[in-house]
A = this chain, B = another copy of it.
Amino acid sequence: MQEVNSPKQKPRRSRPVLVADAIKEWVVKRDLSSGDKLPNESAMIDQFGVSKGTVREALRILEAQGLIVTKTGPGGGSIVGEVSVERTRALLANYFYFQDLSIADIYQMRKSLEPELAASLAGKLTSEQILELRNLADQYPQPAKSAEEEKEQHIASLAFHSKLSDYGKNKLLGFIIGFMSQILTELTLYKQLYEPPNYELWRKGREHQLQLIEALVSGNSNKAREIMASHMQVAETLMKQQEAQIVRRFIAE
Binding site for B on A (CB under 8 A): 11, 16-17, 20-21, 24, 27-28, 31, 33-34, 53, 56-58, 60-67, 71, 82-83, 85, 88, 91-92, 94-101, 105-106, 108-109, 112-113, 116, 120, 169-173, 175-176, 180, 248-250, 252-253
Contact = CB atoms under 8 A, between A and B. Distances in A.
Contact of A108 (B66, B85, B88, B116): B116
B98 A172 contact: no
A246 to B, nearest CB: 10
Given A24-B250, A112-B113, 18 more contacts: A11-B71, A17-B253, A34-B98, A53-B53, A57-B60, A60-B60, A61-B63, A65-B252, A82-B98, A85-B95, A96-B171, A96-B172, A105-B170, A108-B170, A109-B113, A109-B170, A109-B172, A112-B112
Contact of A171 (B53, B99, B170): B99
A67 B105 contact: no
Contacts of A63: 61
Contacts of A108: 116, 120, 170, 173
Copies of this chain, whole number: 2
A1 to B, nearest CB: 14
Contact of A98 (B24, B56, B83, B112): B83
Nearest to A104: B170
A53 to B, nearest CB: 5
B21 A253 contact: yes
A106 to B, nearest CB: 7
Contacts of A112: 112-113, 116
A82 B53 CA distance: 27
A95 B166 CA distance: 16
Nearest to A106: B172
Contact of A172 (B11, B21, B101): B101
Contacts of A99: 171-172
A248 B98 CA distance: 29
A88 B93 CA distance: 10
4 tightest Cβ-Cβ pairs between the two chains A and B = A88-B95, A64-B64, A61-B64, A105-B170
